[in-house]
A and B are shown apart, each in its own frame.
Chain A
Amino acid sequence: MSAQLAIRGASKRFGGVTANDDISMEVPQGRIVGLIGPNGSGKSTLFNSIVGYHPVDGGSIRFEEREITRMRTAEIARLGLIRTFQQTHVFVQMSCMQNMAIGDAEAGRGLLRLMRPVSAETRERAETLLAFCGLYGKRHLMAGELSFGQRKLLELAMALMLRPRMLLLDEPTAGINPTLIKGVIERLQRANREFGVTLFVIEHNMRVIMTLAEHIHCLAHGRLLASGSPDEVRRDARVLDAYLGAR
């Protein structure tokens, strides 16, 4: 079976700085895959290239057999490839329910489909997913009134509302109270299992990524350094060197 997301020889330069250099990797359907690497190794750049914020200079990116290398952000999102942000982005002047209702992929995004009041089905789906993320009790609060951790959960719920085929999560546990991290991991695993969403996760917290991911890619200095199961990557001397800075 071919991979759901296939990156071939992706390169990206900003001025004289090479952020990604000839990176090739795959993310298979239905799995949880991690992307790790020291600061500045090009992880977020790769995510940004995948979702179309800045196209790669060379190489190709395919999602479900479709060439998405030159597509724009919104088009890629409509294919079901959704990304969440390291700094959360929610609509702060709107209630959680409103945040959820906008994105309902089932109700459609076309102009005429939008010109209808929020349907009972949409509301129900939103409530279910908010409950899934532990935010049901806060559904009528303005998103701006939520704590940072709660916003991250809301962003996850909003992403699920879009019926994603694959989620790119940029540090889902960064800045979250350590006691809540376990809950986030469980929810991500459940989302993967119950909704069949492929997860591609950037994470700095090694313990988190080792429990969560079934397969890990490690970047260093913009290149793909190692790939393998969590155990293989953990034992890889090059990965250790990259993190410790030895060469």
Chain B
Amino acid sequence: MSARRQQLLALGIAAAGIALPFAIPDFRAQIAMLWALVIMAQTWDITGGQTGYNSFGNILFFGVGMYASVVVQRDTGLDYYAALALGMATGAAIAATLAVLLGSMILRMRGHYFAIATLGLGIAAGEIAGGWDYLGAGSGLSPPLFPAPPQTANLFFAYLYFALAALTFAALAALYRTRFGLALNAIRDNEDKAEAMGLRTGLYKITAWTIAAFVLGLTGGAMGNMLGFVDPRDTAFAGATFGVWMVLMAILGGKGTLWGPVLGATVFHITQELLWTHLLGWQRVALGLIIVGIVVFFPQGILGWARTRWPARHEQREQGSGRA
């Protein structure tokens, strides 16, 4: 895809993002969720696809953001929007701090050990929140009511998440063009070599994970309000839904690419919305099947598949976009 066509596509998506909540007002909640999922897949891919550090536990940052936001709303007594903004910022800050602290310990591990450590972190967080009275323990927390009818609330969240997704995409597109982006790819391809070249691999990995954590903190911060309840294992540290979906969507679209996570999240969300309701309780069984199916038969994802199918176009892009 040429640079020009990428820009056109981005413009088209931006127009859709602005128009859709009014074009199909009944689906505002689903539209908001779509953008949130796009963010999750994009942020997962920063370490997972681009750096080769596959995390099973990024849900940790999402959940921390959700709890922090609702606690701030509960305890500060500000008006709705101010409290939400402050809460999201707090959540993002805590999530980023956690990423720095935990990352400096576990990002030294290679590959699958990192994956398992993050899996442990995500679940441990849910278990701790589920026992901690300050956070409402097992029954969770209730965010304040949105000061307008549900339709307006959904409109608000659809635009909020659209803005966040667009910003994230633009920021990542710029980031992947820098030498920092190249250094992340270098770590993915051959970390020992990157170190032998004098690159500060540890610092870069922590930075990458922190960026993901920050954005996920914001995303989680608004999600508690959108869903209307914060549950330790079902919404906040929801490893079995959002937690796995992030990984799955990025892989489905094509991990390690700019557009893959966006595409994967869109395909996943639409499929889910169309089919899920017909499955009546078997959704999660289907999810397990989908994961196994994609991982076994389609690990390169849609964009990876397209690349092998039409290799010429890919090469054109490499040269045409002028990326070094």
Contact = CB atoms under 8 A, between A and B. Distances in A.
Contacts of B177: 117-118
A122 to B, nearest CB: 7
Contact of A101 (B196, B201, B256, B324): B324
A74 B185 CA distance: 17
Contact of B175 (A94, A105, A115): A115
B200 to A, nearest CB: 6
Contact of B196 (A77, A110, A114): A77
Interface string A82-115: 1101000111111101111111110101110111
Contacts of B194: 91, 102
Interface string B301-324: 000000000000001001100011
A89 B188 contact: no
A109 B200 contact: yes
Contacts of B199: 74, 102-103, 109
A91 B180 contact: no
B198 A114 contact: no
Contacts, number: 108
A5 B275 CA distance: 68
A133 interface: no
Interface string B184-205: 0110111011111111110110
A111 B196 contact: no
Contact of B178 (A91, A104, A117): A117
Given A91-B190, A102-B197, A111 B185 contact: no
Counting chain A CB atoms within 10 Å of each CB, which of B189, B190, B192, B315 scores highest? B189
B183 interface: yes
A6 interface: no
Nearest to B198: A77
Given A90-B190, A117-B177, A109 B198 contact: yes
Given A90-B193, A98-B185, A116-B179, A74 B323 contact: no
B30 interface: no
B195 A98 contact: no
A74 B198 contact: yes
Contacts of B318: 95, 140
A117 B192 CA distance: 24
A118 B323 contact: yes
Contact of B203 (A97, A105, A107, A111): A111
B189 A94 contact: yes
A74 B191 CA distance: 11
Contact of A115 (B178, B185, B189, B190): B178
Contacts of B189: 91-94
A162 B188 contact: no
A78 B198 contact: yes
Interface in A57-99: 73-75, 77-78, 82-83, 85, 89-95, 97-99
Contact of A98 (B175, B207, B315, B324): B324
A158 B178 contact: no
Contacts of B186: 91, 94, 99, 102
A102 B179 contact: yes
Interface string A122-149: 1100100000000000001000000000
A51 interface: yes
Interface string A207-247: 00000000000000000000000000000000000000000
Contact of A83 (B174, B196, B201): B196
A74 B190 contact: no
B182 interface: yes
Interface in B85-112: none
A101 B315 CA distance: 19
A51 B190 contact: no
A184 to B, nearest CB: 20
27 contacts: A74-B195, A74-B201, A77-B195, A77-B196, A89-B192, A89-B193, A89-B196, A91-B189, A93-B185, A93-B189, A94-B189, A98-B324, A99-B186, A100-B324, A101-B179, A102-B179, A102-B182, A107-B179, A109-B200, A110-B200, A111-B180, A113-B179, A116-B178, A117-B174, A117-B178, A118-B182, A118-B323
Given A94-B189, A100-B324, A118-B177, 5 more contacts: A74-B201, A83-B196, A103-B197, A103-B199, A123-B324
Q: What are the 5 tightest A-B residue pairs by CB atom distance, in nearest-first order?
A: A77-B198, A118-B324, A91-B189, A89-B193, A114-B180
